[in-house]
A and B are shown apart, each in its own frame.
Chain A
Amino acid sequence: MSAAHADRTGTTSSLPALVRRRLGPAQPWGSLVGIGVLALLLLVVAPGVLDDFRLNNLGKYCCWAIVAVGIGLAWGRGGMLLMGQGVYFALGAYAMAMHLTLESAGPDGVPVFMILYDPLAPLPGFWEPFRSGAFTLIAIVVAPLLVAGVLGAAIFKRRVKGAYFAILSQALAVALAYLIGGTIKLTGGDTGLSDFKSFFGYDLADPVNRRMIYTIAAGVLIGCLLLVWQLYRSRFGELLVATRDAEERVRFLGYDPANIKLVAYVIAAVMASIAGALFVPIAGIISPKEIGAAASILLIAGVALGGRASLFGPALGALLLGYGRSTLSERYENGWIYVLALMFIVVTLLLPEGLTSLPRRAARLVTSRRSAA
């Protein structure tokens, strides 16, 4: 807070500050170049360098990064700590998983796990529309739109915020995980849904098709970054930050903070849902483990690590964390949890602006040394 204040007052007079302004990461077009570089890395370099297995893993991290971009928008810029994005991740993931399960079961088929419990079980009514691919795709976007819209409007209009909001959102994720775990005959329960054979007609066993799905996930991530980049430059982005920092003042200026927050919340929800939908064909399984309290917290971890309020922080943090999660947890399963735990503590304690603030901090250190000398 104080550092940012000093920065703001210093920009008009001191030369180093002006230089920093030209070169610094706050430069909007510079960010666009950054997105371009990331697109090049994810869409061209990675598929050329990585083998199928690693590329598939990278696809998973991309899905988490998409969620992270949304969390960055709502939390970093909007001040709403979303501790239950698993809910929206689940909406998209289960919509997609239900469609893929039905696709694997064939026309008029019933999912295998249902037949296991009851050979004569009819398909539950809410599964039926997911036979249609078009319906599924629409549901992946519209379902989170509706749920987040109604829920968000109710919560923000009642001025629930801060820690209350965080706890409430996590409670919803926990409740949903319980619900899915408890309705094994309808949703597959704790085992989840898996064994998908094809993805909208493309055979999932074919590596070429898997690469295509990776490309979609990476492309969506880039798209989300572009969207958020545009939002941050817009008047909406300024209002969102203003709401985060001084909600009452925004209200006194004649805006309704609830609406501003709602928009950010809904965008984050839709991003999480799309990410969930892409996660399913890539990971090949979705279960309550991927959406509950622990999973939702992992989604935040990346955002906190990278830097919640920056454009690239959430996505890069999530990619890094995803990589750490799969490489470290393979080799040192116990150690990985300690690393994660320590990361939460150290980052929030010492580096609340995340890893992406390090270059800026270093630059600030250098310039302040110079101006002192």
Chain B
Amino acid sequence: MESLIAPLLNGTADGALLLIAALGLALTFGQMGVINMAHGEFLLAGAVCAYWTQQVVTNTDLSILLALPVAFVFAGLLGLLLEVTIIQWMYDRPLDTLLATVGVSLGLQQVFLQLYPSGVPVEKPGLLDGQLDVLGYAWPLRQIFTIVLAGICLAGLGALLRYTTFGRRIRATVQNRALAETLGIATRSVDRLTFFIGSGLAGLGGVAASLIGGTNSQLGTRYIILAFLVVVAGGLGQLRGTVIAAWAVGVVTAYFADWTTGSLASVMTFVLVVVFLQVKPQGLFTVRTRGLA
């Protein structure tokens, strides 16, 4: 029983982490059509924030809670900076955005490498050290923390998009930019704020990631491609597909890893997602349009 349930729970936690990373992408890629390859490095920035707050606030429990807003704002500001300096000139050239942000990603990784050549050692908070007994499997509290965090991010983002004025503006801008402008929406500031929030979410993901694995310069690279695949497989323009896809990828990888090795499991998951996209190229759920593409 334990061997069956362990991958499920571990995979759910991995999926939750992936979801936080993917939510930000779902916003910037899914809603705005911008491909930000530096999104993974914003995750890294979040992890660095977790480390920084620990340097200031020594109580590990308190510092991790403080790290969340710090990471959100820091990664968000990085994203804002990226939008203002580079991305805003390229909204009509998605493939070029991809290339330019690849450059940003390389640069940020190198900055991190020079600042912290051996990664940042984030102390695990004592409060989250325990385990929860689930049907005979000791489930680490840190994983539950990640899942709760993902749930909060999801609920927050969903509520923001659905119920607030700002969310309505985002959706209006996405659906028809020209019409939104004629209605008096300042689409440029909507773009910037959307980018801020999307990147900030990556920062939150970084804090969660720093609690689970080691934090080195490759943290972003580890998640970015899979997170993109999750967004695409979930279908653009809505969040529920992303949630299901992230969870499925996390759990399936965990079961594969249980049977074989970690690296082979990643290969199998990649192949599975690619095959899935063959069957449903538009992803799980599609927002119907009359366009030809």
Partner pick for A159 among B29, B95, B103, B281, CB 8 A cutoff: B281
In the bound complex, do residue A341 and residue B281 qualify as a contact, i.e. CB atoms below 8 Å apart? no
In the bound complex, do residue A174 and residue B225 qualify as a contact, i.e. CB atoms below 8 Å apart? yes
Q: Distance (Å) between the CB of B265 and the closest chain A CB?
A: 9
Confirm or deny: B35 has a beta carbon within 8 angstroms of a beta carbon on chain A. Answer: yes
> In the complex where A164-B232, A337-B110 touch, is A182 in contact with B277 (Cβ < 8 A)?
no
Q: Distance (Å) between the CB of A322 and the closest chain B CB?
A: 17
Confirm or deny: A300 has a beta carbon within 8 angstroms of a beta carbon on chain B. Answer: yes
Q: Distance (Å) between the CB of A339 and the closest chain B CB?
A: 10
Kindly state the separation between the CA atoms of A172 and B35 in the bound complex, as whole angstroms: 18
> In the complex where A159-B281, A337-B107 touch, is A171 in contact with B229 (Cβ < 8 A)?
yes
Chain B residues whose C-beta falls within 8 Å of the C-beta of A344 in the assembled complex: 99-100, 102-104, 106
In the bound complex, do residue B103 and residue A340 qualify as a contact, i.e. CB atoms below 8 Å apart? yes
In the bound complex, do residue B225 and residue A181 qualify as a contact, i.e. CB atoms below 8 Å apart? no
> In the complex where A167-B225, A175-B270, A178-B266 touch, is A341 in contact with B98 (Cβ < 8 A)?
no
Q: Distance (Å) between the CB of A156 and the closest chain B CB?
A: 11
- B-contacting 9-mer, from A50-58, A345-353, A361-369: A345-353
> In the complex where A182-B261, A348-B96, A349-B86 touch, is A174 in contact with B103 (Cβ < 8 A)?
no
Q: Distance (Å) between the CB of B202 and the closest chain A CB?
A: 17
Chain B residues whose C-beta falls within 8 Å of the C-beta of A293 in the assembled complex: 221, 225
Confirm or deny: B144 has a beta carbon within 8 angstroms of a beta carbon on chain A. Answer: no
User: Closest chain B residue to A159 by CB distance?
Assistant: B281
In the bound complex, do residue A337 and residue B106 qualify as a contact, i.e. CB atoms below 8 Å apart? yes
Confirm or deny: A137 has a beta carbon within 8 angstroms of a beta carbon on chain B. Answer: no
Confirm or deny: A343 has a beta carbon within 8 angstroms of a beta carbon on chain B. Answer: yes
Chain B residues whose C-beta falls within 8 Å of the C-beta of A248 in the assembled complex: 292-293
Interface of A, secondary structure class, is helix
Confirm or deny: A304 has a beta carbon within 8 angstroms of a beta carbon on chain B. Answer: yes
Chain B residues whose C-beta falls within 8 Å of the C-beta of A294 in the assembled complex: 221
Q: Distance (Å) between the CB of B103 and the closest chain A CB?
A: 3
User: Closest chain A residue to B99 by CB distance?
Assistant: A348
Q: Distance (Å) between the CB of B14 and the closest chain A CB?
A: 16
User: Closest chain B residue to A174 by CB distance?
Assistant: B225
Number of residues from B at the complex interface, CB < 8 A: 44
In the bound complex, do residue B267 and residue A182 qualify as a contact, i.e. CB atoms below 8 Å apart? yes
> In the complex where A341-B103, A345-B104, A349-B90 touch, is A166 in contact with B229 (Cβ < 8 A)?
no
Assuming A175-B271, A297-B102, what are 16 further A-B pairs, CB within 8 angstroms?
A158-B278, A167-B232, A175-B267, A178-B270, A179-B264, A297-B106, A334-B113, A334-B114, A337-B106, A337-B109, A338-B107, A340-B106, A341-B106, A348-B100, A349-B89, A349-B90
Confirm or deny: A277 has a beta carbon within 8 angstroms of a beta carbon on chain B. Answer: no
Q: Distance (Å) between the CB of B95 and the closest chain A CB?
A: 5
B interface residue numbers (CB < 8 A to A): 29, 35, 86, 89-90, 93-100, 102-107, 109-110, 113-114, 221, 225-226, 228-229, 232, 261-264, 266-267, 270-271, 273-274, 277-278, 281, 292-293
Chain B residues whose C-beta falls within 8 Å of the C-beta of A83 in the assembled complex: 98
Number of residues from A at the complex interface, CB < 8 A: 44
Chain B residues whose C-beta falls within 8 Å of the C-beta of A162 in the assembled complex: 94-95
In the bound complex, do residue B225 and residue A170 qualify as a contact, i.e. CB atoms below 8 Å apart? yes
Chain B residues whose C-beta falls within 8 Å of the C-beta of A372 in the assembled complex: none
Chain B residues whose C-beta falls within 8 Å of the C-beta of A176 in the assembled complex: 267
In the bound complex, do residue B110 and residue A345 qualify as a contact, i.e. CB atoms below 8 Å apart? no
Confirm or deny: A81 has a beta carbon within 8 angstroms of a beta carbon on chain B. Answer: yes
Kindly state the separation between the CA atoms of A168 and B107 in the bound complex, as whole angstroms: 23
Confirm or deny: A342 has a beta carbon within 8 angstroms of a beta carbon on chain B. Answer: yes
In the bound complex, do residue A341 and residue B110 qualify as a contact, i.e. CB atoms below 8 Å apart? yes
Confirm or deny: A138 has a beta carbon within 8 angstroms of a beta carbon on chain B. Answer: no
Q: Distance (Å) between the CB of B33 and the closest chain A CB?
A: 8
In the bound complex, do residue A81 and residue B98 qualify as a contact, i.e. CB atoms below 8 Å apart? yes
Chain B residues whose C-beta falls within 8 Å of the C-beta of A41 in the assembled complex: none
Chain A residues whose C-beta falls within 8 Å of the C-beta of B94 in the assembled complex: 162-163
Kindly state the separation between the CA atoms of A183 and B262 in the bound complex, as whole angstroms: 11
Q: Distance (Å) between the CB of A333 and the closest chain B CB?
A: 10
Chain B residues whose C-beta falls within 8 Å of the C-beta of A178 in the assembled complex: 263-264, 266-267, 270
Chain A residues whose C-beta falls within 8 Å of the C-beta of B104 in the assembled complex: 341, 344-345
Q: Distance (Å) between the CB of A23 and the closest chain B CB?
A: 29
